[in-house]
Amino acid sequence: MRTERVGQTDVRFRRSGEGDRAVVFVHGFLDDQYVWDRLIAELATPGIECITVDLAGGGDRTAAGGPFAYDRFAAEVGDVVDAVDKPFVIVGQSMGAAVGELVATRRPDRALGLVLLTPVPLAGTHLPDEAIAPFRALGGDGAGQRAVRNQLAVALPEAEHDRLVAVGERVRPEVVRDFADCWNDGHPAGEQPSRYAGPVLIVRGEADGFVTEELVDTAVAPRFGSVESVVVASAGHWVHLEQPSAVAALLDGFLAGVFRPDHFHQG
């Protein structure tokens, strides 16, 4: 595992593996780049380099200033993709799925595929004030964050649960509010069919009470032209942590398809 920095910025990313194609991972709300380590360890696809990065305001970047919005996140992850300079598949979870779509859309020549794990719709969830308020108030509230993860996960390993609560507690309260507003309000591009025309895999945890089957079927999947949706049993919102072997197998299968020489640009 090697760590590099984008220019003179505070954007650092980790690289593991060797290959002429990259798989870039984007974490979700109150998580960090290390949330992907269990999944990456299970991948069997040869000839790939795995890239992880912290979004501004989270992980190792809690001191970063704003704005904390999709366009800023996508620009910075895009800078990482450009620094790596390889054809890539991007994998995003929850609000990170929206970031992943924006990055892929802006690099159609190199984006070979898009994987959305328990994806929040790019258009936003538009929860009413009384429903979004508890999420906006999670800053510094370890007990509250633990309760949310308990509610939305069914097989989260205890050690990883504890680690993620510690990670989330470090996010400044005003940043937590901005994060919540970001995924709740969404991005204008989500109101239209996606401009990303490549292959898309959507993976949802069967027991996820937040990103439900109905939400995926109505607000996520219909926006894409070439899309497959899969449900993983015994998993909730953090499907990549709750069932990493199952998700790795799905990702390996997707990579095998999109990395075929005759696959890309044939859609």
Q: What is the average pLDDT score of the chain?
A: 96
Break the chain into its structural domains and give their ranges.
2-258
Rounded CA gap, 2 and 108, in Å? Answer: 27
Residue bearing tokens 């538009």: 126
Instruction: Give the per-residue pLDDT at 1.
Output: 83
Which pLDDT belongs to residue 190?
Answer: 98
Per the CB < 8 A criterion, the answer to whether 234 and 155 are in contact is yes
- Say if residue 260's pLDDT is above 90: no
Q: Tell me which architecture the domain covering 2-258 has in CATH.
A: 3-Layer(aba) Sandwich (3.40)
Predicted confidence at residue 263, as pLDDT, reads 54
pLDDT in tens, 142-169: 999 999 999 999 999 999 999 999 999 9
Q: Provide mean pLDDT across the span 65-88.
A: 97
pLDDT at 116 over 50: yes
According to the model, what pLDDT value does residue 226 have?
94
> What's CA 165's distance to the chain center, in Å?
18
Name the phi and psi angles at 201, rounded to 5: -115, 125
Predicted confidence (pLDDT) at residue 200 exceeds the cutoff of 80: yes
Determine what percent of the chain is predicted with pLDDT higher than 90.
96
Average pLDDT (64-89) is 97
According to the model, what pLDDT value does residue 262 have? Answer: 59
Q: How far, in Å, are 12, 47, 176, 196, 248 from residue 105 at the CA level?
A: 22, 24, 26, 5, 24
Is 70 exceeded by the pLDDT of residue 265? Answer: no
Percentage of residues in the chain having pLDDT higher than 70: 97
pTM: 0.96
**Residues 71/178, Cβ–Cβ less than 8 Å:** no
Residues 21-53: pLDDT tens digits?
Answer: 999 999 999 999 999 999 999 999 999 999 999
pLDDT band for position 128 (50/70/90)?
very high
3-class secondary structure for the chain? CEEEECCCCCCEEEEECCCCEEEEEECCCCCCHHHHHHHHHHCCCCCEEEEEECCCCCHHHCCCCCCCCHHHHHHHHHHHHHHHCCCEEEEEECHHHHHHHHHHHCCCCCEEEEEEECCCCCCCCCCCHHHHHHHHCCCCCHHHHHHHHHHHCCCCCHHHHHHHHHHHHCCCHHHHHHHHHHHHHCCHHHHCCCCCCCCEEEEEECCCCCCCHHHHHHHHHHHCCCEEEEEECCCCCCHHHHCHHHHHHHHHHHHHHHCCCCCCCCC
pLDDT of residue 267: 37
| pLDDT, position 59 | 96
pLDDT, residue 62, reads 97
The amino acid occupying position 56 is A
